Amino acid sequence: MELKDKKALVTGGGEGIGRAIAGALRAAGADVAITGRRRDVLERTAAELGVWAIPGDVSVEADVVATVEAFVARHGRIDVLVNNAGFGHFAPLVEMERERFDAVFATNVTGAMLMAREAAKHFVRQRSGNLVNISSTSGLKGGAGSSAYSGSKFALRGMTECWREELRRYDVRVILINPSEVLTDFSAHAGYEQKRSDKKLRPQEIADAVLGVLRMDERGFVPELSVFATNPF
């Protein structure tokens, strides 16, 4: 797909992986909007990248509906949705707090579903579209203390397979990207310290993966792609 002049919406686009994806799409000539909860971060990033900021929380249904409606009202269509918004909470099962568990699922699972639902309404009408879900290799293999985060990413992977089966008949490509560890502020928000290394993945590698799968001719698509550092040790 030629990305020039395509209309792309990236959730969680204020920083980290979302910011890198939004910047790469914009550099490729797409018209890009980013959404996220932190208005100050979102608007600063939008100004720096030359994209449009739509503040909103993907876990709030009214915000999701308003975001997609505003995007389509401005651009007339939506060609790409990148479901990137997400965060993690890590604790042993016996210490897991229901409130924190629910919050992770509200964003990583319900938020992704709500955004996909609203975008898919337009994809079906247009008979075209690209839905890219940013998951994690934690959605391929669980680990100790990762009930909330891994559980949410396993759920996202399952929903992706369901949406793919529903939407292919409308010429919609549904793609799952599984990053392994990436150098972002994810760990700081999740409450643990990330070991830094110049050999670990950067957000740019994930943005490269997203652009790579989108640029394939629309007669084909990559259902799922995992991205690992070559040698992070």
- Catalytic (active-site) positions: 149
Strand order across the 52-55 sheet: 52-55, 31-36, 7-11, 80-83, 129-134, 172-179, 224-227
* CA–CA dist 7, 29 (Å, integer): 10
Q: What is the 8-class DSSP label of residue 42?
A: H
- The 3-state DSSP class for residue 219 equals coil
| Of residues 155, 71, 43, 123, the one with CA closest to residue 13 | 43
- The pair phi, psi for residue 214, each rounded to 5°, is -70, -30
β-bridge partners, 150: none
